[in-house]
Amino acid sequence: MVIDTLKCVGCSDCVVACQTENDVPIGYCRDWITETVNGEYPNVELELKSERCNHCENAPCVRCCPTGASHKIEGGIVLVTYNDCIGCGACIESCPYDARFQHPDGYIDKCTFCHHRLEKGQQPACVDVCPTKCMYFGDLDNPYSVVSKLLKTRNYKLLAPEAGTKPHVYYLI
Amino acid sequence: MNKFMVANRTINMGTSRRKFIKISALGIGSVTATSGALNLMASNSYFNETNVPILSKKFQKIPTYCEVCFWKCAGWAFVDENNSIQKMIGNQEDSHCFGRLCPRGTGGVGMYNDEDRLKTPLIRTTINGEETFREASWDEALDLIGEKFNEVKNSYGPESIALLKHGSPGKHLEHLFHSFGSDTIAEPAYSQCRGPRETGFRLTYGSWVGSPEPTDIRDTKCLVLIGSHIGENMHNSQVQEMSDAIDNGATIITVDPRFSTAASKSSYWLAIKPATDMALLLAWMHVLIYENIYDKEYVEKYTLGFDKLKDHVRTFTPEWAYGITTIKPDVIRKTARAMANAAPSVVVHPGRHVTWYGDDTQRARAIAILNGLLGSWGRKGGFYFKESIKVPDYPHPEYPHPKWGWREIGAKYPLAQMGNTVEVIRASIPNEENKYPVKAWMVAGTNITKSIPNRLLLEKAMDALEFMVVVDTMPMDVTGYADVVLPECTYLERFDDIRSATNRAPSIAVRVPVVEAKYNSKPAWWMAKEIGERMGTGAYFNYNDYKEVIEWQLNEMGTSLNEMINIGVKNYPRKSGPLFLDENSSYKFPTPSGKIELYSQELKDLGFDALPVYNKHPEPPQGFYRLNYGRAPMHTFSRTANNPNLNDLKNENTLWVNPKVARILELKKGQHVWLKNQDNILSEFSIKVRITERVRWDSVYMVHGFGHNNKKLSRAYSKGINDTQLISQIVEDPIMGGTGMRGNFVTILTENPHKNMTI
């Protein structure tokens, strides 16, 4: 997933679209907005971005899961099998992005990149709804995909690269 | 001549006949629908027995258009087999949203699910000396309204019944009012919001801006925002187009004392001193004209009064403006040249909420003139010629002719194009000299206690009324002043008028009930019909279901309800001519001269400045900060604060304070403070401090629409401060009556001023 911070206005549409698409109970969220302000008036910079599970290549949450509920599927998406999850919370502790939470029903929940929609050839709900069209989802292994092209032509950053998790959400800057 | 009229703000409060009833504080006969609400949550349960989210449900798609704000995006409600609304998705064919609803539209289902909704009609009554509401049947409530409205009609004339409205319910009630002979109709959307720009652009180009604004932002090379915060105001297609403009590498110039989201996307942010925009606009004109970089051909061919304008702005140099605006002369020149380089693909945006300082029509004129110099009106990347399709009127008898109405009430503002809410309020306060006495109100879809400044005046008027009805879906603060409260069902539960959009090409959209109306709520069209029948105007409501009306209209328009249910939105080809000016033929603007009137003879003849001038506005006194307010993308005015989905995203406003100010006042992040304005009005509730470099040291900022004082709004009650309550100083625009609201100053209190007071 590639997110253009130059276009995001931080409206939270991605948050509410995810909640309604994935039946995330009110009070919880799988994605969220962060706002960073730098500088001193009137030389100020503002960065708004939509954050979520980074579906890391080297995912600590998968490694530390005692039951194998946290797992990676073909294509790189990290998922949780709710029925196998004992809610121990080790994965929450291990995630440098604070992307996981305990669902009120006990299991650990997080962004799935709307796996159920991808299967139908649709985009994740957040990507589909974004009024600024600042989110792109696609195949990074395909050099001709929009996401690959964006990463070739634009500057980008990763979140917490020092954690060594090799995250798969890229922020254009 | 004194250009500004300061509203009278020394009104003595007598004992209030119409005591404010907090709907929560009900005695006998209170609304006890909690069990219903609980059941509702159960039936809406998101999880099946194994606690695994249900993601592979079969959905039915039902078309609607959104009513969470005025943009009215068309979309689909997805309903599962249990008739539960699961999600809202935009209609791909709709030019308001292009398939993408904004957070409010996506969370619109929360409006339907909100367990705090008004559930049944309420009638004011007195129990043990206490004023309260009791539940009533629809017949009882409607009979009472019919009786009281007829009384007022017979004693004073139908004109004495006023309608204050907003949005879709307003249209149905407007028909009711016209049917019984009242044109005493007003809405805050004009004189408290976009009125000045409509009048300013009408004076210059002959047509008002309208909604959605005909700005060709997606193809612009330069977007100029004067205090407009696109992105924080979530005017959907406009936000999308601004994003396209960013992709296309357009230059964005934002003028705002606050570092808005739009400012952060801009090539130039002009951190202007508040209330000095006019000086900047005049200096920009000066640069364009005296550097000879305006669109000479366009100006010669289409405009009138250029020489007078040139003369007028001779002395308004960037150096002159620097002293006023604090914007450096080279920045003023650079930005003017950036506009000229991009011209005619420039949008100097007319703005939306523009009732700021009382000379707002003139500021809108300055913006219109600037666009004229750049040749952007009628040009690609500038402003397009909008078009809509006429929805035929469903046949009804001719309306009677009222003896007076909103025009007469607001006559002191010669160029008002719609009813002035504040003048209707004034006309409701008994006064022997008042030739147009208003005695009863119906308030529909607008929480006037949060949209009308000068609360004392408003309360005095409501106190004097003989009868007041409020129509709403939620127990908004204004319902507490009503004699009868009618619960409207939400947009997801009703048929409504066909939405005819004014856009690049005409289009229509339909709103079809997605689910049955919950509780004992009813659509506004039904209320209008029922009241009409009780007032002897049943002939105007020749239908049993509004479905019949839109079915007839759709057939007249060459489509059908069945077709529209399948497609939701129908786009029509343009018929009015090209989207932009055809340079090879002449074009007559709908102004008296047929030209773009840079110099306005019309204003001159009425005794106003024919060309805009800069006037100095009051500045905050020592220890006070200018109160600025704005929007958050996930909320609409005050109406969404209690929506469970949207409240979850933002449940209160915060007071933005510059770190310098925080240091002086020793404020901490998250600390609760209270505000007191220049007229000693105290904020009802406290607000949390947000210390940020995004705001100037001479002003504070908050998002509008919070600080609800009705306990029945369980999520929104007492959260944050209601900015409107602190706006008691109004500067009225002498041209069209807009209420300038940005000249209020507040001081920050760290101790609770209500602690030793009984409220």
For residue A48, list chain B residues with Cβ-Cβ distance below 8 A.
261, 264
B46 touches chain A (CB under 8 A): yes
Compute, in degrees rounded to 10, the torsion defined by CA atoms B486, B481, B712, B170: 40
Q: How far A6 CA sits from the closest chain B CA (Å)?
A: 7
What is the structure's pLDDT at B18?
Answer: 57
Flag if A13 and B47 touch (Cβ within 8 Å).
no
Q: How far B698 CA sits from the closest chain A CA (Å)?
A: 12
Q: Which residue segments constitute the domains of chain B, with CATH numbers given?
A: 21-56+120-187+419-488+523-542 (3.40.50.740), 57-113+495-522+555-581 (2.20.25.90), 192-385+591-605 (3.40.228.10), 625-749 (2.40.40.20)
Q: How far A27 CA sits from the closest chain B CA (Å)?
A: 6
Q: Which residues of B80-108 are buried (b: 16+ CB within 10 A; e: fewer)?
A: eeeebbbbbbbbebbbbbbbbbbbbbbbb
Mean pLDDT, residues B454-473 taken together:
96
For residue B269, list chain A residues with Cβ-Cβ distance below 8 A.
42
Please give the C-alpha separations between residue B280 and each of A47, B42, B316, B331, B353, in angstroms, as whole numbers.
28, 58, 9, 11, 19
A153 touches chain B (CB under 8 A): no
What is the structure's pLDDT at B10?
Answer: 27
What is the structure's pLDDT at B566?
Answer: 97
For tokens 């039915």, name the residue: B60
Q: Is the pLDDT of residue B356 over 70?
A: yes
Terminal Cα distance for chain B, rounded: 43
Q: Residue A120 belongs to what H/E stretch? A: none
Mean pLDDT, residues A84-97 taken together:
96
Pick the more confident residue, B748 or B17.
B748
What is the structure's pLDDT at B25?
Answer: 38
* Best to test chain A binding among B243, B246, B514, B646 (most A CBs inside 10 Å): B243
- Please count the residue pairs, one from chain A and one from chain B, whose beta carbons lie less than 8 angstroms apart: 136
What is the structure's pLDDT at A102?
Answer: 95
What is the structure's pLDDT at B758?
Answer: 53
Output the DSSP codes for B400-416. P--SSBHHHHTTTSTT-
Q: Is the pLDDT of residue B39 over 60?
A: no
A20 touches chain B (CB under 8 A): yes
Closest B-chain CA to A47: B264
Q: Is the pLDDT of residue A10 over 90?
A: yes
Closest B-chain CA to A126: B100
Flag if A11 and B633 touch (Cβ within 8 Å).
yes
Give the separation between CA B480 and CA A3, rounded to whole angstroms: 46
For residue A10, list chain B residues with Cβ-Cβ distance below 8 A.
231, 261, 633
Mean pLDDT, residues B25-44 taken together:
34
What is the structure's pLDDT at B55?
Answer: 52
SS3 B329: helix
Residue B447, C-beta contacts closer than 8 angstroms, at least 6 positions apart: B472, B476, B477, B478, B637, B638, B639
* Best to test chain A binding among B50, B69, B73, B106 (most A CBs inside 10 Å): B106
Residue B396, C-beta contacts closer than 8 angstroms, at least 6 positions apart: B175, B179, B539, B540, B541, B542
B59 touches chain A (CB under 8 A): no
A11 touches chain B (CB under 8 A): yes
Alpha-carbon Rg for chain A, nearest whole angstrom, is 16
* Best to test chain A binding among B232, B248, B264 (most A CBs inside 10 Å): B264
Please choose, from the candidates B63, B94, B87, the residue with its C-alpha nearest in 3D space to the C-alpha of residue B76: B63
pLDDT digits (tens, 9 = 90+) for B661-720: 999 999 999 999 999 999 999 999 999 999 999 999 999 999 999 999 999 999 999 999
**Which residue in A11, A133, A134 is closest to B102 by CB distance?**
A11
For residue A107, list chain B residues with Cβ-Cβ distance below 8 A.
51
Q: How far B271 CA sits from the closest chain A CA (Å)?
A: 6
Mean pLDDT, residues B333-359 taken together:
98
Q: Is the pLDDT of residue B3 over 90?
A: no
Mean pLDDT, residues A107-121 taken together:
96
**Which residue in B103, B244, B263 is closest to A16 by CB distance?**
B103
**Which residue in B50, B55, B649 is closest to A12 by CB distance?**
B649
Across chain A, what does the average pLDDT equal? 96
Closest B-chain CA to A39: B693
A7 touches chain B (CB under 8 A): yes
B325 touches chain A (CB under 8 A): no
For residue A129, list chain B residues with Cβ-Cβ distance below 8 A.
89-90, 100-101, 106
SS3 B708: strand
What is the structure's pLDDT at B736?
Answer: 97
- β-sheet bridge partners, residue A46: A37
A32 touches chain B (CB under 8 A): no
Flag if B47 and A45 touch (Cβ within 8 Å).
no
B84 touches chain A (CB under 8 A): no
B residues 489-528 near A, CB within 8 Å?
none
Domain boundaries, chain A: 2-172
Closest A-chain CA to B55: A22
pLDDT digits (tens, 9 = 90+) for B539-585: 999 999 999 999 999 999 999 999 999 999 999 999 999 999 998 88
pLDDT digits (tens, 9 = 90+) for B271-288: 999 999 999 999 999 999
A23 touches chain B (CB under 8 A): yes
For residue B87, list chain A residues with Cβ-Cβ distance below 8 A.
17, 20-21
Flag if A9 and B232 touch (Cβ within 8 Å).
yes
Give the separation between CA B601 and CA B203, rounded to whole angstroms: 9
Closest A-chain CA to B234: A11
Q: What is the token pair recorded at B423?
A: 């003048």
Q: Does ipTM exceed 0.90?
A: yes
Flag if A16 and B646 touch (Cβ within 8 Å).
yes
Given 3-state DSSP classes, what are the helix, strand and coil percentages for chain A, each rounded to the nearest 5?
25, 20, 55
Across chain B, what does the average pLDDT equal? 92
What is the structure's pLDDT at B214?
Answer: 97
Closest B-chain CA to A40: B693
Q: Is the pLDDT of residue A131 over 80?
A: yes
pLDDT digits (tens, 9 = 90+) for B523-537: 999 999 999 999 999
Task: Just give the CATH number of A2-172.
Answer: 3.30.70.20
B residues 674-703 near A, CB within 8 Å?
692-697
**Which residue in A11, A25, A82 is closest to B46 by CB distance?**
A25
What is the structure's pLDDT at B58?
Answer: 78
Mean pLDDT, residues B85-99 taken together:
97
Q: How far A164 CA sits from the closest chain B CA (Å)?
A: 31
pLDDT digits (tens, 9 = 90+) for B384-396: 999 999 999 999 9
Residue B755: pLDDT band with limits 50, 70, 90: confident
Please choose, from the candidates B124, B83, B106, B105, the residue with its C-alpha nearest in 3D space to the C-alpha of residue B518: B83
Mean pLDDT, residues B321-326 taken together:
98
For residue A15, list chain B residues with Cβ-Cβ distance below 8 A.
103, 649
Flag if A134 and B103 touch (Cβ within 8 Å).
no
For residue B265, list chain A residues with Cβ-Cβ distance below 8 A.
6-7, 9
For tokens 């497609």, name the residue: B567
Output the DSSP codes for B445-471. S--HHHHSS-HHHHHHHHHH-SEEEEE
B239 touches chain A (CB under 8 A): yes
Compute how many other C-beta atoms are within 10 angstroms of the C-beta atom of residue B264: 23
